[in-house]
Structure 1
């Protein structure tokens, strides 16, 4: 089928399913993922992942994180740095330890156990942000804590991916030089970007406002988002990191221009972000035999439980118990980076197809379960708040 027609079908189905799910009181992303599952290789087989859809999906995650960064208050974000650090660290250590224990119990090899621990440790910032946007919680204390922790979690995940890549290339012996170089490059990029980017990005943005072309500011905002994402990716980090930081830096200027902010929201959520979540559903390409794997249920349980416990432990000193639980729930979804980790491990011969399939099912399951759990978590938190003295 022609790729344009595939995109049309995917977009129509994703928007319709998203609307139906929202009317039921749940985030639209569940319906968008369901559209991908329906049209993808698992069921109808009308749409398959291809290079064009993957590029649009990448732009979707860039747009989502850039707009989300612009929507947040930089001062509030920085004020939450303590809870962000402790939550990110605990949110990695607990599921990592759970993965090590589970790998031992399932008699995995050392390399397979390391892979599982890494895959369980990584939060999807894109999914977490979309859930908070849908529930209108992005700018709350809770939302800021989740997003700031998820950003650090993503960075830690990239470094863990570097470890796994070294294992894939060198067997069970870590390639210390290449791994250290990758980590140093990533850290150097973040330091330089945070020091230089605010002045440069704001100068370019102000320059765009002085032009005669009325849509120039809109174009420059998109260009800066894409350029920051590309620089981040070039430095070995995920696209989302650069896009989010750029949005955070330009947030004050963008929020003051409401038509611009609304246009960027439409640019992202009207097309690209929808395709990103629909493309997640396209990955669900398994037979019923896949679900007979003895690995799937234990991996999903440890994936969800590890993040909830880690997020709670990391944040309960700074927030209420109800908020700390919601932070743990918000850290639960895995996404694009976990899938990259799985692909690296599979191609490098670290894992087999059975474990790869089980982890991919886990990723999709956590993306679907998290908004459902958070819906009930928000309801419980409101009840707990009313009952508190």
Structure 2
């Protein structure tokens, strides 16, 4: 019952902070992220990272990215495939270089510096998706590039992590890398086959099932299966959920009611818990001791993605305003960077001495990212896109 009580508290406070931030004309997600910091270890220590909280948070981010897929235009994503790749590549190179230089300046050993730079290469688009959705910008050209680049960035970050962690721990082998690539190719084949033939038939059949909200339930089943498959091939589960959303949105029997029902399920319970969960582990014990390292990692983390991804958009033909939007949309690190940091910490690539500083920087960047995206979009309204 303790978790039920905490869940009620989190959902009620989410309503309160969302109302306040919406009235202030700021993305509600910022309030929810800050709420997580207040409820977590750093301030009140009311909500802890229990199995239940982590489970609800994981379902929340899966549903959020599934909704992003449902609301995405596949033709627009295909149209902007090359710009998305340019944005992803440039949005990885510059943050890696800036973070590596920063870590070396602070006399962190080379091996740990390299790993920290990999942590800050990752992008977590889930926060940006929420801001884009709230501003009705998800289906714009810039929104499509951000989503496409996030998928490419996800694959790039995991590839770099696999090679780097294997090399730095002495466990790297070409065979492991080929196996990983083989699994990704197999996943791609499954996606293509399911998208072309299996999912359309499943969604048609669901219309004839005599059960309440059968098409919505079937859509959720597909979402969870794709999330599981993506995780099984060492990709992020949210990538699978996003792809599932795109596949279902292009199925003949897809309708807006499915989107509405899943949005209701997600935003009523799971998605708020995900946003709160990001900040609950933030501690300020080492904040003043590592103040300058945290500050510079945060600043370079923002600059690296903003200018790196923005430059990738500019060389792909976007104007400065759109490049600013795309760069801002790639700033957030969120759960992807936190997961990579946890992996490094578990295999001793990230030491106790710098672990807290890295985590604090990731969370600060994640909280600040929506401000940049909101500001960039305010400079170019949707009707001028």
Would you call these one fold, judging by a TM-score over 0.5? yes
- Match for 1:227 among 220, 225, 228? 225
Please state if 1:292 is matched with 2:289.
Answer: yes
Q: What are the Cα deviations for residues 275-330 of structure 1, in whole angstroms up to 9, with x where unaligned?
A: 1001112121332x424303111111110000011111111132111100111111
By how many angstroms is 1:47 displaced?
1.1
Which whole-Å CA distance do the structure 2 matches of 1:70 and 1:254 have between them?
13
By how many angstroms is 1:193 displaced?
2.1
Which whole-Å CA distance do the structure 2 matches of 1:212 and 1:195 have between them?
27
By how many angstroms is 1:80 displaced?
0.9
Over the aligned positions, Cα root-mean-square deviation in angstroms equals 2.1
Question: 1:78-227 maps to which residues of 2 (within 5 A)?
Answer: 78-167=78-167, 169-170=169-170, 174-227=172-225
Aligned length: 382
Q: Secondary structure of 2:220's match?
A: helix
Q: Name the residue aligned to 2:323.
A: 324
Q: Name the residue aligned to 1:314.
A: 312
Which whole-Å CA distance do the structure 2 matches of 1:174 and 1:251 have between them?
40
Uncovered stretches (5+) of structure 2, i.e. residues with no partner = none
Which whole-Å CA distance do the structure 1 matches of 2:362 and 2:47 have between them?
20
Please state if 1:374 is matched with 2:361.
Answer: no
Farther-moved stretch of structure 1 (340-349 vs 323-332)? 340-349
Please state if 1:47 is matched with 2:44.
Answer: no
CA contact (8 A) 1:99 1:302 kept: yes
Which whole-Å CA distance do the structure 2 matches of 1:334 and 1:128 have between them?
10
Q: Name the residue aligned to 2:61.
A: 61
Q: What are the Cα deviations for residues 348-388 of structure 1, in whole angstroms up to 9, with x where unaligned?
A: 11122232111111211111111112222223335xx79xx
CA contact (8 A) 1:168 1:345 kept: no
Q: Name the residue aligned to 2:350.
A: 351
CA contact (8 A) 1:119 1:338 kept: yes
Farther-moved stretch of structure 1 (235-244 vs 357-366)? 357-366
Which whole-Å CA distance do the structure 2 matches of 1:200 and 1:308 have between them?
39
Which whole-Å CA distance do the structure 1 matches of 2:40 and 2:376 have between them?
31
By how many angstroms is 1:259 displaced?
2.3
Which whole-Å CA distance do the structure 2 matches of 1:366 and 1:84 have between them?
22
By how many angstroms is 1:169 displaced?
4.2
By how many angstroms is 1:253 displaced?
4.4
Which whole-Å CA distance do the structure 2 matches of 1:373 and 1:233 have between them?
30
Which whole-Å CA distance do the structure 2 matches of 1:160 and 1:174 have between them?
12
Uncovered stretches (5+) of structure 1, i.e. residues with no partner = none
CA contact (8 A) 1:225 1:246 kept: yes
Please state if 1:301 is matched with 2:299.
Answer: yes
- When normalised by structure 2's length, the TM-score is 0.93
Please state if 1:76 is matched with 2:73.
Answer: no
Question: 1:275-290 maps to which residues of 2 (within 5 A)?
Answer: 275-287=273-285, 289-290=286-287
Which whole-Å CA distance do the structure 2 matches of 1:46 and 1:258 have between them?
38
By how many angstroms is 1:256 displaced?
5.2
Farther-moved stretch of structure 1 (365-374 vs 52-61)? 365-374
CA contact (8 A) 2:204 2:252 kept: no
Q: What are the Cα deviations for residues 207-266 of structure 1, in whole angstroms up to 9, with x where unaligned?
A: 111222241111111111111101110111111111000100111348952222211111
